Amino acid sequence: MTVFPSWRRTPHSIAATVAALACLAAFHAVAASAAPSVTPPYQLSVFAQSANGYSQPDSIVQFGDSIIVGFQNHVAKDGSDGKSSTIVQFALNGRVQRTFSVPGHNDGLRVIGANELWALQNEDANPNLVVIDLNTGRQTLYTFPASTTPHGGGFDDIVELHGDVYFTASNPGTDSNGVNIFPALVRARLHSRHSNTVDVEPVMFGNSHAVDIPTGATVQLNLSDPDSMTVDPRGNIVFTSQADGLLIFVRDPLTSNQVVGRLPITAGGSATTLDDTAFVPSGAAYMLFSDVAGDTIYRLDSGSFGFSPGIPYSGSDTTGVLGVLSLDTGVVTPIGTGFKSVRGIVFVTPAD
């Protein structure tokens, strides 16, 4: 039976399937892998590495004919050490074009509108947002008006959908029964006229009811770790609850038709965590992804068969696996292994 077809995509190409399945046996050898590797016809190369005092590459976005990466620099996740992260803008050949310093531990990056880069810091507590005008380089620091956030933690990632901007509410607290009754996804709005602050509005809560996508059953969530986020080709907000091994889908947010879906994630026959998931856009030339513990940003080319539009690829922060994700079953079929901690993923398309 097909459950919620608007959360599904057609299967990837036969060639991609064969290549992905061929790598499945390698999953169990990840820990013993001497170096990162991918299954042919995929091809792996290094795009850039940590240098010049910045380290721990994480989030990645494309801006025209450049790539922007957030380097966390081992800053405390609540910003309590007073240190700063570095945002690096690269040319498509990996050459550094310019850098920006932002206060705290950067985790979320997103280009909003035509030329604003939103950089979100401190996912555990004390969050701040820096908006960078990519035309002029001007930076504006925004704070959150309350001394504590509604859920007690910070904010992790950012997406834009139909002109609205959404954040995942990370590191949440729980009630006396150990249940996250607080916002897990919020809509964010900036106030710049009198004070540079960010207001947030709950979209869904950590204990929301959801449809289990593989079975169609209704379940109650208890999300402990809302994290990286994207928008799928059908216009659903998709975010990982990382420590829970779940992908969460939100259809028609903030409308009377809002529906939440849950997809448990497995790889190699076992539950696993994911950091980031990216859907192949039309015209994708290649993928870039970061290995935060390996201090490296990799380039993945698809070889002879190309990337099939609409197919999701996911990376695991704990197993070091990069793979193709089934939206029917939640199974990640590895295409790359031996990485230390896969984080941000972006598909690079030719600039207009």
Tens-place pLDDT, residues 149-162: 999 999 999 999 99
The residues, ordered by sequence, that sit 6+ positions from 132 with a Cβ below 8 Å of its Cβ are: 87, 100, 116, 117, 119, 138, 139, 140
Distance of CA 317 to the CA centre of its chain: 11
For the domain with range 5-348, which CATH number is right: 3.40.50.720, 2.40.30.10, 2.40.110.10, 2.120.10.30? 2.120.10.30
Q: Burial letters for 12-42: b for 16+ Cβ neighbours within 10 Å, e otherwise?
A: beeebeebbeebbebbeebeeeeebebbeeb
Average pLDDT over residues 212-226: 97
Better-predicted residue by pLDDT, 10 or 201? 201
pLDDT of residue 10: 42
pLDDT of residue 124: 97
Helix, strand or coil for residue 314? Answer: strand
pLDDT of residue 7: 59
pTM confidence score: 0.92
pLDDT of residue 8: 59
Side by side, which strands form the sheet with 37-38? 37-38, 332-337, 322-325, 312-315, 276-279
Better-predicted residue by pLDDT, 67 or 305? 67
Judged against a pLDDT cut of 80, whether residue 32 lies above it is answered with no
Strands (DSSP E) contained in 51-170 are 57-63, 66-71, 84-91, 96-103, 106-112, 116-121, 128-133, 139-143, 154-161, 164-170
Judged against a pLDDT cut of 60, whether residue 3 lies above it is answered with no
Weakest mean pLDDT among 7-11, 27-31, 231-235, 271-275:
27-31
Tokens of 142: 């925004």
The residues, ordered by sequence, that sit 6+ positions from 260 with a Cβ below 8 Å of its Cβ are: 204, 208, 209, 210, 211, 221, 248, 249, 250, 251
- How confident is the prediction for the chain on average, in pLDDT? 91
Average pLDDT over residues 48-65: 97
Q: Which of 166, 162, 242 is nearest to 204 (CA)?
A: 166
Judged against a pLDDT cut of 90, whether residue 304 lies above it is answered with no
User: Is residue 14 within a helix (H) or strand (E), and if so which, with residue range?
Assistant: helix 14-22
pLDDT of residue 18: 40
pLDDT of residue 262: 98
